[in-house]
């Protein structure tokens, strides 16, 4: 098993007042040559946006863009005609494909929203832009993996244009869980949303990331109040 450790304290950080953002991978004006991507995983941003603020309309192309609100809600609008609210418990994916424009704003005028924005390189280029969103029951991930993003429709996640999957779990202290990639050769980027876990002898704290590759399965032991996001992606140089 091969691992790469990304402590939360070493993430890129910008604070524009209305936006307080931490970057697990190079983004915007922050560049770390050792943190450009993990396989097909290009971006993992941990954003806090003040009430009434957000990202004005801007373009994307040929990227799978996933939004996961952790607290609060996001108002989304894009050039496909899609407009709506992404609440905590929802997962939204947008296939930018041949080109799309969208905006994201805090749906509240008063309370901050905290959400993860994740970019994954697509499997097929220049597809027709598309959007999908689904609400997930948080209790269904207690002690087990709940798949929230997958190209396999039978797994119940929002569909992605890539041989990639995302799953979330909540674990009680002392509990163990294993993760097995669905696609041979894929790596897994494990992100600690809350709490503390042990993986392969390493202790990971809140918002730490660990890239894991060259394995068929790995085990995780939970500390108090652990919530995890596993991002499974194809690996390439």
pLDDT digits (tens, 9 = 90+) for 66-92: 999 999 999 999 898 888 999 999 999
Kindly list the domain boundaries of the chain, sorted by start residue: 12-135, 138-233
The span from the CA of 222 to the CA of 170, in Å, is 9
Task: Compute the Cα dihedral for 211, 40, 34, 215 and give only its sign.
Answer: positive
- Is pLDDT above 70 for 107? yes
Rg (CA), the chain: 17
Residue that is written with structure tokens 């690996």 in the block: 235
Please report the pLDDT score of residue 80 as a whole number: 87
Please report the pLDDT score of residue 81 as a whole number: 85
Token pair, residue 213, equals 């590759």
Q: What are φ and ψ of residue 139, in 5° steps?
A: -70, -20
Token pair, residue 160, equals 């992605």
- CB neighbours (10 Å) of residue 178? 9
Beta bridge partners of 84: 76
Q: What average pLDDT does the chain have?
A: 95
Query: pTM surpassing 0.95?
Result: yes
Residue that is written with structure tokens 């309370």 in the block: 111
Q: Average of pLDDT values for 56-71? A: 95
Q: Which of 224, 160, 218 is nearest to 189 (CA)?
A: 218
Q: Which of 138, 128, 51 is nearest to 95 (CA)?
A: 128
How far, CA to CA in Å, does 115 sit from each of 97, 192, 204? 23, 14, 20
CATH tag, 138-233: 2.60.120.10
Please report the pLDDT score of residue 237 as a whole number: 62
Do the domains 12-135 and 138-233 sit in the same CATH topology, yes or no? Answer: yes
- Asked if residues 198 and 204 have their Cβ atoms less than 8 Å apart, the reply is yes
The C-alpha torsion from 206 through 208 and 214 to 220, rounded to 10°, is -10
Q: Average of pLDDT values for 125-135? A: 95
- CB neighbours (10 Å) of residue 10? 14
Looking at domain 12-135, which of 3.40.1390.10, 2.60.120.10, 3.40.30.10, 3.20.20.10 is its CATH number?
A: 2.60.120.10
Compute the C-alpha angle 132/91/232, nearest 5°: 100
């Amino acid at each position: 098993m091969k691992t790469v450790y990304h402590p939360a304290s070493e993430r890129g950080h910008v604070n524009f007042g209305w936006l307080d953002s931490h970057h697990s991978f190079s983004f915007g004006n922050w560049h770390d040559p050792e943190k450009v991507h993990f396989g097909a995983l290009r971006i993992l941003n941990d954003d806090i946006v003040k009430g009434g603020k957000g990202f004005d309309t801007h373009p994307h192309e040929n990227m799978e863009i996933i939004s996961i609100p952790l607290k609060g809600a996001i108002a989304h609008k894009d050039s496909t005609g899609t407009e709506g609210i992404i609440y905590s418990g929802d997962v939204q994916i947008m296939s930018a494909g041949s080109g799309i424009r969208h905006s994201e704003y805090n749906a509240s005028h008063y309370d901050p929203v905290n959400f993860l924005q994740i970019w994954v390189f697509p499997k097929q280029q220049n597809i027709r832009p598309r959007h999908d969103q689904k609400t997930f029951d948080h209790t269904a991930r207690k002690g087990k993996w709940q798949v929230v993003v997958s190209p396999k429709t039978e797994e119940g996640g929002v569909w992605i244009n890539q041989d990639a999957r995302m799953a979330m779990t909540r674990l009680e202290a002392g509990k163990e869980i294993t993760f097995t990639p669905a696609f041979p050769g894929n790596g897994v980027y494990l992100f600690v949303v809350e709490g503390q876990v042990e993986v392969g002898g390493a202790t990971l704290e809140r918002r730490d990331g660990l890239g894991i590759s060259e394995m068929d399965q790995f085990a995780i032991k939970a500390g108090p109040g652990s919530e995890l996001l596993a991002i499974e992606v194809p690996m390439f140089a």
